[in-house]
C-alpha cells in the first residue's frame, strides 16, 4: 500500500500481487471527515466520525476507571449500512490499542515502534493473525504500508485496508502541509505493554519477506549508546520532577 498523493489530496494505492485492487482516500482539511475505500471505481466502505464518543471520553485520565475511547468511527458500506467500527482505546497508563469491529467479531491492533519500522500487530481472540508494517523513512509525506494476513482470516482484509487509511489519517495526515523534495528519517522505540506482544520472528515465520526486510527486523534493537542516552534523559526528567515537588512543599 503506497500513498501516491499527499498535498492537495491524500490517496493510498492498494496492490495485491502487483494488481491494483483499491484506493483509499483520506480527508485533506480535517481528520473527522470520512476516509473512503474504493474498488473498481466505486465506493466500497467509508468511515463516519462519532463526535459524541469523543465528548463522552474527554474526561482526563478516564482510563483509570474505564476504557477511554478516542478517534471513534463507524464503518459503512456503499449502501450506508453499518458493518463495523474503528476506535483507539486507552485501557491503562501503559497500554492502548486499536479496536476494529466487523459485524459480530472484533480485532485488537497493537502499535509497536522499533527503530525505522512501525509494527501494527493484529490479534483475534488472543492470537496474532496478521501484521501491518510501516517504514519511518518517508519522502514527500508519502507513507508506505504492507499488510500481512493469514489466509484463514481473509474476511477481515477489506476492513484492515480501510483501517490503514483511518490510521494514517489520525496519525500521519500532515494536514495543511505542502511539500516538495522532503525526506524524513525517524528512529523511534516504543515503551508500553504492547511491546510484550511483539515477536520479531512471527512475520518471517509465516510469510516470505525480502532479505532487506529481514535485515531491518534483525537490526531494529536499540544499541548501547541510545540506551545510555535514554537512561540519562529519564534520570534528568525524574530529577526535575523531584526538585519541583520539594520546592512546592
pLDDT in tens, 73-99: 999 999 999 999 999 998 888 899 999
Burial of 13 (0-12, 13-18, 19+ CB in 10 A): middle
- Tell me if 75 sits within 8 A of 160, measured CB to CB: no
- Looking at the predicted structure, is the pLDDT value of residue 181 above 70? yes
Q: Could you tell me if 171 and 237 lie in one domain? A: no
Number of domains in the chain: 2
Structural domain of 248: 224-249
- 46-73 core/surface letters (b: 16 or more CB in 10 A; e: else): bbbbbeebeeebeeeeebeeeebbebbb
- 186 band by pLDDT with thresholds 50, 70 and 90: confident
Q: Could you tell me if 247 and 150 lie in one domain? A: no
Q: Could you tell me if 191 and 231 lie in one domain? A: no
How does pLDDT run across 91-132, given as a tens digit for each residue?
A: 888 899 999 999 999 999 999 999 889 999 999 999 999 999
Q: Could you tell me if 241 and 193 lie in one domain? A: no
Q: Could you tell me if 66 and 135 lie in one domain? A: yes
Cell 474527554 belongs to residue = 58
Confidence at residue 57, expressed as pLDDT on a 0 to 100 scale:
63
Angle (CA) 17-215-186 rounded to 5° is: 90
Strands 188-189 and 117-124: unpaired
Confidence at residue 60, expressed as pLDDT on a 0 to 100 scale:
67
The more confidently predicted of residues 57 and 5 is 5
Confidence at residue 225, expressed as pLDDT on a 0 to 100 scale:
54
Q: Could you tell me if 45 and 105 lie in one domain? A: yes
Q: Could you tell me if 189 and 233 lie in one domain? A: no
Strands 10-16 and 2-5: antiparallel
* Cα–Cα distances in angstroms (integers) from residue 24 to residues 27, 47, 53, 136, 148, in the given order: 10, 11, 24, 20, 18
Confidence at residue 237, expressed as pLDDT on a 0 to 100 scale:
58
Mean residue pLDDT of the chain comes to 87
Q: Could you tell me if 143 and 245 lie in one domain? A: no
How does pLDDT run across 216-236, given as a tens digit for each residue?
A: 888 887 655 555 555 555 576
| H runs (alpha helix) in 57-139 | none
* Residue 38, strand partner residues: 23, 43
Instruction: Provide the 10 A C-beta neighbour count for residue 87.
Output: 20
Length of the chain measured in residues: 249
Q: Could you tell me if 158 and 234 lie in one domain? A: no
- Looking at the predicted structure, is the pLDDT value of residue 198 above 60? yes
How does pLDDT run across 24-76, given as a tens digit for each residue?
A: 999 988 888 999 999 988 999 999 999 877 666 666 666 565 678 888 999 99
Q: Could you tell me if 6 and 41 lie in one domain? A: yes
Amino acid at each position: 500500500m503506497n500513498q501516491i498523493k499527499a498535498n492537495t489530496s491524500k490517496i493510498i494505492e492498494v496492490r495485491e500481487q502487483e494488481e491494483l485492487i483499491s484506493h483509499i482516500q483520506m480527508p485533506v482539511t480535517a481528520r473527522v471527515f470520512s476516509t473512503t475505500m474504493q474498488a473498481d471505481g466505486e465506493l466500497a466502505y467509508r468511515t463516519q466520525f462519532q463526535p459524541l464518543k469523543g465528548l463522552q471520553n474527554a474526561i482526563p485520565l478516564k482510563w483509570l476507571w474505564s476504557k477511554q475511547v478516542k478517534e471513534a468511527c463507524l464503518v459503512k458500506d456503499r449502501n450506508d449500512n453499518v458493518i463495523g467500527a474503528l476506535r483507539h482505546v486507552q485501557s491503562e497508563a501503559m497500554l492502548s490499542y486499536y479496536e476494529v469491529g466487523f459485524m459480530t467479531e472484533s480485532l485488537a491492533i497493537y502499535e509497536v515502534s522499533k527503530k525505522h519500522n512501525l509494527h501494527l500487530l493484529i490479534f483475534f481472540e488472543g492470537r496474532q493473525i496478521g501484521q501491518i508494517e510501516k517504514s519511518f523513512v518517508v519522502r514527500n509525506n508519502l507513507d508506505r504500508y504492507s499488510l500481512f494476513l493469514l489466509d484463514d482470516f481473509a474476511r477481515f482484509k477489506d476492513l484492515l485496508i480501510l483501517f490503514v487509511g483511518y490510521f494514517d489519517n489520525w496519525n500521519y495526515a500532515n494536514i495543511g502541509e505542502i511539500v516538495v523534495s522532503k525526506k524524513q528519517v525517524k528512529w523511534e522505540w516504543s515503551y508500553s505493554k504492547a511491546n510484550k506482544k511483539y515477536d520479531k520472528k512471527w512475520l518471517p515465520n509465516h510469510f516470505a519477506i525480502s532479505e532487506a526486510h529481514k535485515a531491518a527486523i534483525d537490526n531494529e534493537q536499540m544499541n548501547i549508546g541510545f540506551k545510555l542516552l535514554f537512561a540519562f534523559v529519564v534520570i534528568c526528567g525524574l530529577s526535575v520532577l523531584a526538585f519541583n515537588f520539594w520546592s512546592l512543599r
